[in-house]
Amino acid sequence: MPVPALVTTAWRRAAELDFPMSCEDPAGPLLATLAAAVPSGGRVLELGTGAGVGSSWLVSGLTGRTDATVTTVELDAGLAAAVRAADWPPFVEILTGDACALLPTLGTFDLIFADAPAGKWEGLDLTLAALSPGGVLIVDDMDPTRYPEPEHRANVTRVEETLANHPDLVSVQLPVGSGFTLATRRRP
């Protein structure tokens, strides 16, 4: 997939903000592909906006559509403001706040990209509660070898075990890039 202009702009913004934690390949094209599959009237949620690189990929997957929404949550008010100042389609909402505090107020989503500690390492139950039947959750940074700290490796193991053993989910570990775990909520 060619790199969309929105993504190139987000990479530039990340460099200008000296933000080194944007999603890495192949996360972006995977996000765009998953977003393209969101059903009509679908809702997409990103936890951890950062400089907006992941958001840009998600929005790029929805090119030509106006029937879906993208909500992204960033804890850092400065980052959120910088991303909010960019030129986004009207279906994009950029929220500032703690994802664990906001998740119970946001409703349910067809695609959730968990790329922040809140909603992934802590509050995973809140993220799962926000996942619609048939919805897809993608959790980033799941390669335990990236973490020298035992507590971070333990977080990866805990999240993977939670998703693998959840009776309402089907999940798979994808050992590419920064490591992903992908889970889909079973339909009733």
| Nearest residue to 73 (alpha-carbon basis) of 115, 39, 108 | 115
What are the tokens at 176? 């590419």
| pLDDT for residue 179 is more than 90 | yes
Q: What is the mean pLDDT of residues 24-51?
A: 95
pLDDT at 65 over 80: yes
pLDDT at 165: 98
What tokens appear for 99 in the block? 């994802």
- Would you state the structure tokens that stand for residue 94, as one six-digit string? 């950029």
Q: Around Cβ 46, how many Cβ atoms within 10 Å?
A: 33
Which amino acid, 4?
P
Task: Read off the pLDDT band of 25 (50, 70, 90).
Answer: confident
Task: Say if residues 28 and 66 touch (Cβ distance below 8 Å).
Answer: no
Q: Looking at residue 130, what is its pLDDT?
A: 98
pLDDT on residue 80: 96
Q: What is the mean pLDDT of the segment spanning 151-165?
A: 95
pLDDT at position 23, please? 80
pLDDT of residue 71: 98
In 9-130, DSSP assigns E strands to 43-47, 69-74, 92-96, 109-114
Amino acid at 172: V
Q: Report the share of the chain in percent with pLDDT over 70.
A: 100
Tokens 């922040």 -> residue: 116
pLDDT at 2: 85
Report the alpha-carbon angle 1-134-153, nearest 5: 70
Determine if the peptide bond prior to 175 is cis (ω within 30°).
no
Q: Work out the average pLDDT over 66-75.
A: 97
Looking at the predicted structure, is the pLDDT value of residue 53 above 90?
A: yes
Side by side, the strands of the sheet bearing 69-74 are: 92-96, 69-74, 43-47, 109-114, 131-139, 180-185, 169-174
The residue among 10, 12, 3, 27 whose CA lies nearest residue 182 is 27
Indicate the average pLDDT of the chain: 95
Choice among 19-23, 77-81, 114-118 with the minimum mean pLDDT: 19-23
Q: Determine phi and psi for 9, rounding to 5 degrees.
A: -65, -40
